[in-house]
Chain A
Amino acid sequence: MARQTRRALSENKRAERRLAWLLCAPAALVMLAVTGWPIIYSVWLSLQRYDLKFPEQREFIGLDNYASVLTNQYWWSAFGVTMLITVVSVAIELVLGMGLAIIMHRALVGRGLVRTSVLIPYGIVTVVAAFSWRYAWTPGTGYLANLFTPDSAPLTDRTSALAIIILAEIWKTTPFMALLLLAGLALVPDDLLKAAAVDGATAWQRFIRVTVPVMKPAILVALLFRTLDAFRIFDNVFVLTGGANETSSVSMLTYNNLLKGLNLGIGSTMSVLVFLTVAIIAFVFIKLFGTAAPGGSNGGRR
C-alpha cells in the first residue's frame, strides 16, 4: 500500500517536473539564443583570420589570433590600465559607498531628499556626465582645469588622464555601491550593536567587529557587481581621452580593432579574452570569497 503511494507520488512529481521544464523552455531558449549564440559566434570568429578589408583571405587559423593578441604590448598595456582603473575605483567606491550608506541609514531629517540626491550621479547618462567632465578639464574653458592645473592639459598626460577617468567612474557609480551596501546595512540587527555597546565597544570597534562581518554577503555582492562592471569600462574612456596616450581599456581596444581596424578575427579574440577574464573574476569572487548569488541561501557562510 505504502509503496504504491510512493510510486504514484513519483509519477506525479515527474509529470510536474516535466511541465516545469516545458514552461521554462521558451525563456531558456531565448536566453540561449540571445546570449549563447553571440558568444559561440565570437569564439568561432576568433579562430579565423577574418579581415573585412581582405575578404578573400578569410581562413581558419586556429589559435594564431590568441598568440598574436597575448604577445602584443598594446593588449597588455590596456589590460594593465583596465586592472588599475578597476582596482582603484572599486576600492575607493567601497569606502565612499559605505560612508554614504551609513549616512543614508542614519539620516533622520529629509531621508527621502538625502537618498534621492545621492542617486543623482547614477541617474545621469554616463556619456553626458563624461562630456561634462571633459569640458571641465579642458584648459581654457574648463573650470576644473583652470582651478587645479592652469598650466597643462590634464587629459593629454597619461597619469593625470587616468586619474580623471577614475574620478569620473567613482563619481558615477558610488551611489550604486551605496545602495547595495544600504540594503546590507539595514539587515544588521540593532540589538547586536546595542549588546556590543553595552560590552564597552567603541563606535569604530562596533563597526569593524559587528557591522562589517554581518554585512559581508552584501559587501561581496556589491564588490562583485562593481568589479565586473569596472573591468568593462568604455564610455568614460571613449569620451574623455578616446584611448590616446595609452589610456585605452580592453573594451576600448576591442572597439578600435573591430571598427577602426575592421579585423573581426583579432577583435573577436579580444572579446573572448575579456569574457574569460570576467568569468575568472566572477569565479574568484564566488568560490574563493564566498559571494552568494542574491536570493541564494547564505546561512552558515558567516
Chain B
Amino acid sequence: MRLAAALVAITALAAAGCGSGESGGVPTVNLYYAPEQNLEKVVDDCNAQAQGRYRISYQVLPRAADDQRTQMVRRLAAQDDGMDVLGLDVTWTPEFASAGWILEWTGERKAEAEKGTLAAPLESSRYRDKLYAAPKNTNTQLLWYRSDLVERPPQTWDEMITKAQELKQQGKPYQIITMGAQYEGLVVLYNTLVVSAGGHVLNEDGTQAVFDEGAVRALDLLQRFASAGVTNPSLTNSKEDDARLQFQSGDGAFQLNYPFVYPAMQKGAPDLAKNVKWARYPAVTANTPSKVTIGGYNLAISRYSNHPDESFDAALCLRNAEHQKFSAINDGVPPTIESIYADPEIDEAYPMKTEILTELRDAAIRPSTPAYQNVSTVMSATLSPPADIKPQQVADQLRSSIQDALESKGVLP
C-alpha cells in the first residue's frame, strides 16, 4: 500500500518535472551565446517583438572560445535537441557545416541575412558557397601609436620596426606591443601577415596545404619582428589584455590590438590616452594596404532544433541593424551591417569607426576548412616562439602537418 503510494508520487513528480520545458505552449528558442553584458536586453526586445510566437532563452556559454566550442560540440555530436540558436566564432562555420550540425539558410531568410552585410563576415558564414550562419558582430585590430613619439604612423611593418629601433637608440619608449602567446591570437597575427603579403596557407577549396612564397615571406617577417629587439620581453606570454596593460604602462610606442583598448585606456591611463592615436594596420608590402584578420560571432541554427522556423526568425531579430547598433554601443562589439557605420550615434563609442570600416571592407579571413581547430593548434604550436622560426623549414613542416590535419591523420598537440 505504502509502496504503491510512493510509486504514484514519484511518477507524478517526474511527469511534472518533464513538462516544465515549454511554458504553456509558447516554444522556447534556446540561444547559446558567449557572455555579452547587455545581450539580455536584446533578447527581451526580441521576445517583445515576437508577440508570443516564440520566447528566446539566453543560455550563457563560458568566456573562452575553446570552452564554448567544447560545450556545443559535445551536445551536437549527441544530437541534443535542447539547443536552437548557436553563437559561433567566425572560424567554426566550416567545421559545424561539414559535420552536418547546422542548417543552411535559404530563400528570404538568406536574403535578409545578406542584405547590407559586409563581405568579409559574410564570407566567414559560408561553406562551399552555401550560407550557414548570419553574421552578428565582427572585430579587427588597429595600429595604436604614441603621437608624442612619432609624427605620422608607419605604413609598413619594416617602417614600424625601423622607427622602433630608432626610438630605442634615442632612449625613448620604443616597444611594438602585440599578442604573441601560443594561442589563436598568434595564428590571427600570422594570417594577417600572410594575406597581406598575398600568400596562401590553403588552396582555393581548402583541401590542400599550399604555403606558397607569400606565406614564407610572412614567416620571415614574423621572425624578423620577434628578434629585432623591439618587442616586449613578455611577447610570448601575452594575450589581448596583457598587451593592453603593457602599452598602458608606457613602455610602448606602437600597439597592435582590438578597439576595446580605447575605452579601457581612457579609464586606466587617461594621461597616456591623450597622446595615443590610431591608424590602419601596417602593410607588409609598400603600396599594398594590409588585409587584417577579422574576428566576431555568427548565429547558426542547430539541425536538431525542435523549432527551426522560430529559431531562424529569432536569429534574424537578434542580429538586425537596430540590435547590432545597440550591442555595438553598449558591449563594444563592432557591427557587421555597413549602414550602421554611417550612423552618428556610434561616434562616441567608435571614434575610430572610419579605420575599422576601411579595414573591414578589405579584410582577411582565416583558412576556411572544417579541420580549422587542428590547423590552428598546429600552427600556433609551430610558430611559437616566433623569434626561433626558420622560414623555409617551418613552411615545410607546417605544409606537411596541416596536410595531415586535413586528412584526419594529424595528432593535435
Contacts and interface: CB of A to CB of B under 8 A. Distances in A.
Nearest to A74: B413
B377 A260 contact: yes
Interface string A269-282: 00000000000000
Contacts of B413: 74, 243, 246, 248, 253, 256
B98 interface: yes
A74 B237 CA distance: 21
Interface stretch (B16-24, B70-78, B116-124, B279-287): B70-78
Contact of B73 (A55, A57, A259, A265): A259
B408 A260 contact: no
A131 B237 CA distance: 20
Contact of A266 (B73, B95, B370, B411): B411
A253 B411 CA distance: 9
A72, A262, A263 interface centre (most CB from chain B within 10 Å)? A262
Given A68-B411, A266-B408, A260 B99 contact: no
Nearest to B371: A53
B112 to A, nearest CB: 29
B237 A51 contact: no
A126 interface: no
A291 to B, nearest CB: 33
Contact of A244 (B73, B182, B411): B182
A260 B373 contact: yes
A156 B95 CA distance: 30
B408 A49 contact: yes
A52 B237 contact: no
Given A153-B237, A244-B182, A265-B408, A54 B370 contact: yes
B8 interface: no
Given A153-B237, A244-B182, A53 B409 contact: no
B411 A53 contact: no
Contacts of B237: 153, 156
B374 interface: yes
B404 interface: yes
B77 A257 contact: no
Given A68-B411, A257-B412, A53 B95 contact: yes
B100 A55 contact: yes
Nearest to A75: B411
Interface in A43-97: 49, 51-55, 57, 64-65, 68-69, 72, 74-75
Specify the main secondary structure of chain B where it touches its partner.
helix
B409 A68 contact: yes
Interface in A132-169: 153, 156
Contacts of A72: 411
Given A54-B408, A69-B411, A256-B413, A261 B374 contact: yes
A68 B411 CA distance: 8
A245 interface: yes
Contacts of B371: 53-54
Nearest to B97: A53
A101 B412 CA distance: 42
B166 interface: no
A260 B411 contact: no
A53 B99 contact: yes
Contacts of A68: 404, 409-411
A281 to B, nearest CB: 23
Contacts of B74: 259
A245 B384 CA distance: 10
A260 B412 contact: yes
A153 to B, nearest CB: 7
Interface in B40-81: 66, 69-70, 73-74, 77
Interface string B356-380: 0000000000000011011001000
B412 to A, nearest CB: 4
A43 to B, nearest CB: 18
A74 B410 CA distance: 10
Interface in B374-413: 374, 377, 404, 408-413
A261 B95 contact: no
Find the residue from A64, A65, A257, A261 having the highest chain B CB count within 10 A.
Answer: A261
B202 to A, nearest CB: 15
A72 B409 CA distance: 10
A160 B66 CA distance: 25
Contact of B408 (A57, A69, A253, A259): A57
For the complex of A and B, list the 6 residue pairs with the smallest distance between their C-beta atoms, beginning with the closest.
A51-B408, A53-B370, A72-B411, A261-B412, A74-B413, A68-B409
Interface of B: 66, 69-70, 73-74, 77, 95, 98-100, 182, 237, 370-371, 373-374, 377, 404, 408-413
8 contacts: A49-B408, A51-B408, A55-B99, A243-B413, A253-B411, A257-B411, A259-B73, A262-B373
